Amino acid sequence: MSSLTRAFSSTLGRKLIMSMTGLFLCLFLIIHVVGNLQLFRADAGKAFNEYSYFMTHFLPIKIVSYLLYLSIILHAVYALIITVNNNKARPVGYAKVDGAANSSWNSRNMGVLGTILLIFIVVHMGNFWFQYKFGDMPYTQYETSLSDPTQVNITQLPLDGTKRVHSEFVDVERGVQVVVLKDLYRIVQLSFKQWWYVALYVISMIALAFHLYHGFQSGFQTLGWDHRKYKPLIDGIGLWLFSIIIPALFALMPLYIYFFN
């Protein structure tokens, strides 16, 4: 066994992988929630579809996406290994690293919450991400007047087997800018018109809130970045940003579309 393999199969090594991947996923959530705020715009999904196109075609973001998929897998696999080992060797193993008296309750709790989130991510990516990349997607054409950009003519192109592609051009004769986009907004809208789908999202966001409440500060603690001076700041960000604001904004999206869109 090489020293690197040995390091990452030790208890501390596994916890380090968990914390690094977990904090990277937290960073992703900030970008994801900000981007998805486009769903609240009353523009028939133009900004949201443009944002989705940018996220899937801009090379640096594509590279970071692969790191993201790897992080999700590593985070879930190492969580499983740690949980199985804790169950075998409780109370010694985890308590040594975490140092908290209630660590076994916390780790069990994190496991259940993490499982709900993993199910959520599989359903979520299957419905949106997989559909966008490999599914039979609807397209929408947006014609924006060059003289008055608030004037937008929207045509939902039918799913009639015609091969369509993303395109963008200026029609000088008609004085409009034409953009044809894959309409992920329509897929999101259709999904969030089903009550059970909205319920799945809201329940998952409650799980996310509790998972991140413990996970965010625990990640910093494992990395040793929990100096007394910064701990109140880390705890504050963990509480307000990651366990209140971000889950609440994510939960509001399906609720907004279900009730008001």
Would you tell me which residues interact with ligand HEM (CB under 6 A)? 32, 36, 52, 55-56, 65, 68, 117, 121, 124-125, 128-129, 132, 184, 188, 201, 208, 250, 253-254
Toward ligand HEM, which CB reaches closer, 95 or 206? 206
State the nearest-atom distance from the C-beta of 247 to ligand HEM, in Å.
7
What is the chain's length? 261
The answer to whether the beta carbons of residues 75 and 22 sit under 8 Å apart is yes
Toward ligand HEM, which CB reaches closer, 94 or 242? 242
Closest residue by Cα to residue 201 from 123, 128, 104, 148: 123
State the nearest-atom distance from the C-beta of 22 to ligand HEM, in Å.
11
State the nearest-atom distance from the C-beta of 96 to ligand HEM, in Å.
30
Toward ligand HEM, which CB reaches closer, 52 or 83? 52
State the nearest-atom distance from the C-beta of 202 to ligand HEM, in Å.
9
Toward ligand HEM, which CB reaches closer, 36 or 104? 36
Query: What stretches of the chain show up as alpha helix (H) in DSSP?
Result: 3-9, 11-36, 46-57, 59-89, 92-98, 103-124, 130-134, 184-191, 195-222, 231-237, 246-260
Q: Quick one: CA torsion of 124, 73, 202, 205, rounded to 10 degrees?
A: -140
Toward ligand HEM, which CB reaches closer, 56 or 145? 56
Q: Is 143 helix (H, G, I), strand (E, B) or coil?
A: strand
State the nearest-atom distance from the C-beta of 16 to ligand HEM, in Å.
21
